């Protein structure tokens, strides 16, 4: 799946993304939405939709990894490891039909989104 798929998914409704900060927020929100849909598909035993939504979620993590700037310090390396761990967790969820794995990804992403919003709001103040 193309790394730009995640971006195009969100930009199709928005002619122009306001800023890189807003795009990252939208990507985190997309992870939450798609992971929730994957969880629902697991609960309904819908294998096709489960795989579809997990793949969409993984594509967003790939986009986030590709957007990291390793010249900015250790945080990029930390986030790479964290994102890759989420991809691994999603793979386990997919293979084992385990909603608890999806819940872990949702929890981590909510924390990331909260931290991101806090950081971007403090920069704007």
Task: Work out the average pLDDT over 87-116.
Answer: 97
Per-residue model confidence (pLDDT) at position 9:
53
Exposure letters 19-31 (e unless 16+ CB within 10 A, then b): eebebbbbbbebb
| SS3 assignment, position 98 | coil
pLDDT band at residue 84 using 50, 70 and 90 as cut-offs? very high
Enumerate residues 6+ apart whose C-beta is below 8 A from 74.
Answer: none
pLDDT above 80 for 66: yes
Per-residue model confidence (pLDDT) at position 18:
64
Domains and CATH numbers, the chain: 4-124 (1.20.120.340)
What is the C-alpha separation between 31 and 109, in angstroms, rounded?
7
| Structure token digits, residue 85 | 């761990």
Task: Work out the average pLDDT over 105-109.
Answer: 98
Instruction: Look at the pTM and tell me if it is higher than 0.85.
Output: no
pLDDT digits (tens, 9 = 90+) for 6-55: 555 555 545 455 678 889 999 999 999 999 999 999 999 999 999 999 99
Alpha-carbon Rg for the chain in angstroms: 15
pLDDT above 50 for 1: no
Closest by Cα among 93, 109, 110 to 41? 93
Per-residue model confidence (pLDDT) at position 120:
87
| Structure token digits, residue 69 | 């700037």
Per-residue model confidence (pLDDT) at position 15:
42
pLDDT above 90 for 72: no
| Structure token digits, residue 114 | 């909260």
% of residues, the chain, pLDDT over 70: 83
- If 0-12 CB within 10 Å is exposed, 13-18 middle and 19+ buried, where does residue 6 land? buried
């Amino acid at each position: 799946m193309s790394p730009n798929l995640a971006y195009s998914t969100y930009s199709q409704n928005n002619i122009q993304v306001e800023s890189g900060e807003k795009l990252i927020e939208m990507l985190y929100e997309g992870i939450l939405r798609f992971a929730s849909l994957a969880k629902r598909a697991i609960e309904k035993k819908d294998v096709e939709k489960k795989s579809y939504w997990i793949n969409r979620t993984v594509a967003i993590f790939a986009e986030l990894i590709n957007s990291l700037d390793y010249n900015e310090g250790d945080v990029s390396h930390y986030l790479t490891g964290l994102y890759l761990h989420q991809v691994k967790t999603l793979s386990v969820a997919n293979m084992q039909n385990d909603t608890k794995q999806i819940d872990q990804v949702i929890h981590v992403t909510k924390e990331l989104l909260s931290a991101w919003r806090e950081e971007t709001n403090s920069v704007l103040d």
